[in-house]
Amino acid sequence: MKQKFRVSGMSCSACSAAVEKAVRGLSGVLEVSVSLTQGVLLCEYEENKVSEASIIAAVKKAGYGAEIYSRGASASVKEPYTDIRVRLLVSIVLMIALMYVAMGHMLSLPLPSLISKHTSPIGFVTVQLILALPVLYVNRKFFTVGFKALWHRTPNMDSLVAIGSASAFLYGVFALVMIIVGVKGGDHALVERYVSNLYVESAAMILTLVTVGKLLEDRSKKKTTSGIRALSSLSPKTASVLVDGVESIVSATEVKIGDLVLIRPGEKLPVDGVIVEGFSELDTSALTGESMPRSVTVGDEVMTASVNLTGRFVLRATRVGEDTMLSKIIEVVENASASKAPIARLADRVSGIFVPVVMTIALITGIVWMILTKDLDTALNHMISVLVISCPCALGLATPVAVTVAVGRYASHGIFVKKAASLEAMAHIETVVLDKTGTVTVGEPRLVDAVFFGMTEEQALTLAADLESASEHALSRAIVSAAREKGIEPHAPESFEAIPGKGIYAKYQGEDCLCGNLSLMTEYGVDTSDCKDALDSLAAGGKTAVILAKGKKAVALFGIADAIKPTSKAAVEALKQEGVSVSMLTGDRYLTAKALADSEGLMLDEIIADVLPTDKARVIKAKLDEGKAVAMVGDGINDAPALALATVGIAVGSGTDIALDSADLVLLKNDLYDLGYAVKMAKKTLRRIKENLFWAFFYNSIGIPIAAGVLVPFGIALSPMIASAAMSLSSLFVVTNSLRLYRDR
């Protein structure tokens, strides 16, 4: 059982690690992945051992909120940065006043004597505390979430910010008490010591700067999910349903399977269906990325969100609501964005222990400086700096933001990735194996040549069509179609047996008959001596040979050709530019496949011919056993095992449901044009992830020691304010670096 949950209250990778750990600890949970950027938990579990309620309870016990994911509900959730903007506005206004009071004397700015550092130290400190309090209040989320996480023993980034800010503010309160004691006792040295070493403005500045970073980060993260939101907005809200010829406008969610829906020019399709009346041209670019309009008429299948460009037509709904192609695509994109790539595991392991380690380092830093200087101010300064400069967010965002952007970019090209692991695997692909029929070629073979031995054309075509009429194979359809074009209507044979990868055996008018390839004829002992020259000639012309035999004698030879898709050549060239070798897999003879490839200029590295459908997976396994990372591209039921076995399985959009289910990537355009782009984008995404992880680790490995004071002997020290600004910038850098993928082509 797989289920998706929406998780609230997460602010950094330590949060997502805590949620993941809590759920993973439940007996019966098989796999769990938490997306910080989307606030989503993906969980696969055994229903007889764990329930949705127990998963939600585990998340809540860890200190976070959880509920069953609902796409409709998510759309109505208030944007995360709206509240942040209010907080930030209040914080900035009060910070300006606070900084004026705290540091105005350094610039000789005028201050009333009641709050002057020199004439009224008590008033000077008191007004700073009063100005800082509202900043702490409007940003109380850091304290409620941070200390709650501490209580649940899962400290996070908010915990670090809360402790740092609270420490600075409480030290200000302590300083005020000491100043009052000094004023009343006439101890001017005591007053001067504490009035000159205040951190009240740091308490407010930490919260303000972190909030600035959060606002920018949330806006950037929102941009990463723009692709998903764009897909979600494609489907129209209403539909024109015909009941007994009378039109009524209803909500698109109310349309039922079998309903007749009227589509006018300029309207989007609200459901998937089959056209039963009329014809038109559809713009399907929103889903498939295909720029050219598609002509449709009665009997054609059409998809939700396609735009009707010209004619008026009526469709019968076949898939509605969550079952439409658009809904399935959105689900695939969401799940891929929420899943994790293997490269994220290192960051996850670090994030799980990061905050406790930082808190320990901060405590040790404070103790060491207290011992060395016997000065609480200095110790507190370095301790707070360590707390606020540490940034688990950068680690947590390094992978998911890049993955989300990449998945959105893929979707805009009509490429759909099912999980992040496939994206990473795609970047390492060394060999792409292309199934020929329906993938490299159009998949609509036509009879283009024929040779007859002791039979007229009409007799041979009638016999062949009768035999092949019981088969659904593409070659069978080509022969039947050719017969019908000549006015011959086929009739089913007395008995029929399909022999996978070879052809058919049938009983026809009391006689054994065969129609298939040379291997089938050899197996049944058919005399094909008359066919040898013709077979070689057809193969040299890139045509697939189908032999017709009656009894033990070959009576006809049919040459069938399937045109290569116009984009296949460009796709092969693009793959080779990325350093990927390209192989073509086919059941044809080698000479036939080679001639076909050469005729279109396909610069293939390898042609694997005479492969039975059942042996496709064996071919992929052999390449995997050689240590190669292999991508298999196919579209049929017999491709499914090979797609599932390959490092990355890629199905073209017209493929069968089972092929699509077995694949890791789906090309909706039904051609190979974007295959090179898919490899290139995967490599760029992996490069961005590595850059992000390097920056996150480098930042913390350098920033924490500096904040702890290792460079103080060289005159370099960080104040808490600078540390908090650096923390915000580190997360922003990681997000913006990932967003560069939007500009990549």
Residues assigned a catalytic role: 435
Token pair for residue 611?
């492969």
Query: What angle do the packed helices 188-195 and 157-185 form, to 10 degrees?
Result: 160
**CB atoms near residue 716 (< 10 Å):** 10
**Tokens 């680790």 map to which residue?**
697
Rounded to 5 degrees, φ, ψ at 591 are -60, -40
Which of helix, strand or coil describes residue 275? strand
C-alpha to C-alpha distance for 127 and 114, rounded to whole angstroms: 10
> Under a CB-based contact definition with an 8 Å cutoff, are residues 303 and 284 in contact?
yes
What one-letter code names the amino acid at 496? F
Rounded to 5 degrees, φ, ψ at 433 are -105, 120
Which of 420, 409, 286 lies closest to 348, judged by CA? 420
H or E element: which one contains 294? strand 294-296
Alpha helices by DSSP H, listed for 524-670, are 532-540, 568-577, 590-599, 616-625, 640-645, 657-662
264 DSSP 8-state letter: -
Which of 17, 224, 333, 11 lies closest to 688, judged by CA? 224
Which of 207, 210, 177, 208 lies closest to 195, judged by CA? 177
Rounded to 5 degrees, φ, ψ at 108 are 60, 35
Token pair for residue 82?
């709206």
What one-letter code names the amino acid at 404? T
C-alpha to C-alpha distance for 61 and 148, rounded to whole angstroms: 11
C-alpha to C-alpha distance for 149 and 613, rounded to whole angstroms: 56
C-alpha to C-alpha distance for 733 and 721, rounded to whole angstroms: 19
Which of 221, 205, 232 lies closest to 10, judged by CA? 221
Which of 452, 437, 466, 456 lies closest to 561, judged by CA? 437
Which of helix, strand or coil describes residue 717? coil
Which of 640, 628, 572, 632 lies closest to 601, judged by CA? 572
What one-letter code names the amino acid at 313? F
